[in-house]
Amino acid sequence: MLKLSDDSITSIADAVRTSKIVEVALPLGISYFVENSEGFIKYDVAQHFDPSLINYDEIDWGNEIKLALAAARHFINDENVFVITSDFEIKPIVDDIYDELNESRLIPQALNIALDINSEYTFKFNEISITVNELINKDRIDFNDYRLGDEVKLLSDVAQFVITKGFKPAVTLDLSDEEFDLIENNLNTSALFKDLISNVLDTTYRYGVLGFNSYIELPSG
């Protein structure tokens, strides 16, 4: 794994924070990666994201680098190859990065930009077509309004009960009272979860449940 101590990551972040070269180089690097993403990850990110819309004046690059390095420790193996192994688990990473994620100004901006650009992409459920904006309304959801680190930690603690190693879904009802309480408390605490569920329920009400609206009498208007 990438062998960086917390002190080393902090030192690197502090150096980045005071570097004028980094202020210029990192935005250029993000643009280059997006424009050439098919060569790096075999996926055209540019179709779904526009880095020119990022307000870089709001970005603390020291914190963003600290977040990236803290997360990278879990993804880079002994040969310095970037991998997600079958043993990858959410929770250890969350415990490592959620404080830095709370302070990130780049990630909320990126999520808002991606949501806006992809708002008219359509999903089909049976005979119904639903846009991204109908599932996650870009006028109601502003990722800058949330402490994303806290949100990710709350939801990752819930995800451990439905996602196994390697991100394979495995829902189980064989839970203790304490585990049920944790799920209930975390979902009640998560502002993002409640806003997303409210949005999805509004859409479900309008269309019926996943295409079975022919069996539901919806009010006119």
Give the tens place of pLDDT for each residue, 17-31: 999 999 999 999 999
Distance CA 132, CA 124 (A): 11
Tokens of 110: 């990126």
Q: Is the pLDDT of residue 2 over 70?
A: no
Calculate mean pLDDT across residues 2-28. Answer: 91
pTM of the predicted protein model: 0.83
Q: What is the pLDDT of residue 45?
A: 93
Residue 62 CB partners (closer than 8 Å, separation 6+): 13, 14, 16, 17, 18
Residue 49 CB partners (closer than 8 Å, separation 6+): 34, 110, 113, 114, 117
Tens-place pLDDT, residues 121-172 = 998 777 778 889 988 989 999 999 999 999 999 998 888 777 765 566 666 6
Q: Is the pLDDT of residue 88 over 70?
A: no
Q: Give the pLDDT band (50/70/90) at residue 218.
A: very low
Q: What is the pLDDT of residue 205?
A: 72
Tokens of 28: 């250029």
